[in-house]
Copies of this chain bind each other. A is one copy, B any other.
């Protein structure tokens, strides 16, 4: 079990804007990459949750704090972990680094919804899985 995902990401021209930096909206793409890999490295794919469980996990809330600009060709590291998993929601946390430098941090809150778009509880096996890999405290203060 690996409770923190660390994914490398190389910034391309298409991610940046004419201010010379990674466009602020594109950090949410990096967050998506982070949470997908956190699930995958623990043996579950988002695609399976959709296909086997008939669940989707739409984002209810997103928050981003931009600490320093990231630039073209920077090699970033996206750290992702789950800070909370309950029957009706799961919360992913993110920090993006360029080597030791903190570029950005944030979180997203997701609520499980069935194929007809109705809010539902997580099935027990999924909830247990999410709780198993969730962290009760900040992984960088340990």
Contacts and interface: CB of A to CB of B under 8 A. Distances in A.
Interface of A: 10, 12-14, 16-21, 23-29, 32-33, 36, 45-47, 56, 58-66, 69, 71-73, 108, 117
A36 B17 CA distance: 15
A47 B12 CA distance: 11
B19 A17 contact: no
Contact of A19 (B23, B28, B58, B65): B58
A36 B74 CA distance: 13
Contacts of A62: 24, 62-64, 66
Contacts of A46: 73
A105 to B, nearest CB: 10
Contacts of A66: 58-62
